[in-house]
Amino acid sequence: MITKTIKASEIEKDWYVADAEDKILGRFASEIAQILRGKHKPSFSPNMDMGDFVIVVNAEKIRVSGNKEKNKTYFRHSGYPGGTTFTDFDHLRRTYPERIIENAVKGMLPKNKLGRAIMKHLKVYVGADHPHSAQEPKQLDI
């Protein structure tokens, strides 16, 4: 039996809309990462960008379990000595709620050039509106 490899020109990318309202962050992000990566397709290849585009709406209404609402912190480093910055979950939700989902999904993708390319297929928006209606996205039930 011969294994057929798919060419980059044969890859079809669909658009999906996922509503983050009242979803648990980790479980929601893992489902999104699977779709972005293309693991739901029978022609999945780990070295190619096979995934679809995902639009996430209502990013500010995502939930976390346990005490993460008060205790979860996000770490950044500027590259300079003493350049560490810690941001708590509540502050990030008030200022940039889309970054919560982006950070969670980014942590579940490969840490290489492919992962950075896949991350560009994720579109996260605050509120229920998005500017991608021309792509006719399908509703994604997670």
**CATH number of the domain encompassing residue 70:** 3.90.1180.10
* Residuewise pLDDT in 10s, the chain (142 residues): 788 888 989 999 999 999 999 999 999 999 999 999 999 999 899 999 999 999 999 999 999 999 999 999 999 999 999 999 999 999 999 999 999 999 999 999 999 999 999 999 999 999 999 999 999 999 999 8
In a domain? residue 136: no
| Parent domain of 47 | 8-128
Number of domains in the chain: 1
C-alpha to C-alpha distance for 78 and 83, rounded to whole angstroms: 5
- Name residue, tokens 């996205």: 137
**Is the distance from CB of 89 to CB of 50 less than 8 angstroms?**
no
Q: Is 115 exposed, middle or buried (0-12, 13-18, 19+ CB in 10 A)?
A: middle
**Is the distance from CB of 125 to CB of 62 less than 8 angstroms?**
no
pTM: 0.93
Is the four-CA dihedral 131, 16, 117, 24 of positive or negative sign? positive
In a domain? residue 122: yes
